[in-house]
């Protein structure tokens, strides 16, 4: 059996925020944000990516809806307070 050494790799990195990397030893992916470090199997990592990107899309929609409701509420307040 040949002992293979595979080195890790930084897959993504944002200065001052965090990084996603493969340490090269455990076969998992590591998501590091500030002092927090998540270790995930590749499949779980892909689920996390999917979950995060879905939440980002939903967040934008939700913020837009909130803005619309806020505008309606502001209109009503102006009408009733004067």
Stretch that binds Zn ion, among 9-17, 25-33, 41-49, 74-82 (CB under 5 A): 25-33
Closest CA to 23 of 3, 44, 35, 37: 37
In whole angstroms, the minimum distance from the beta carbon of 52 to Zn ion comes to 20
Residue 33: CB minimum distance to Zn ion, A: 16
Rounded Cα distance between 6 and 66, Å, is: 49
DSSP H/E element including 57: helix 42-81
Q: Does 23 bind Zn ion (CB under 5 A)?
A: yes
- Binding flag, residue 26, Zn ion (CB under 5 A): yes
First to last CA, the chain: 84
The least distance separating Zn ion from the CB of residue 21, rounded to whole angstroms, comes to 8
Of 23, 82, 12, nearest to 52 by C-alpha is 12
Residue 46 as a binder of Zn ion (CB under 5 A): the answer is no
Interaction site with Zn ion (CB under 5 A): 23, 26, 28
């Amino acid at each position: 059996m040949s002992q293979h050494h595979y080195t890790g790799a930084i897959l993504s990195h944002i200065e001052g925020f965090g990084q996603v990397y493969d340490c090269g030893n455990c076969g998992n992916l590591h998501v590091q944000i500030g002092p927090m470090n998540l270790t995930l199997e590749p499949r779980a990592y892909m689920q996390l990516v999917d979950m995060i990107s879905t939440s980002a899309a939903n967040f934008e929609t939700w913020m837009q809806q909130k803005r619309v409701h806020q505008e309606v509420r502001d209109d009503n307040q102006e009408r009733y307070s004067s």
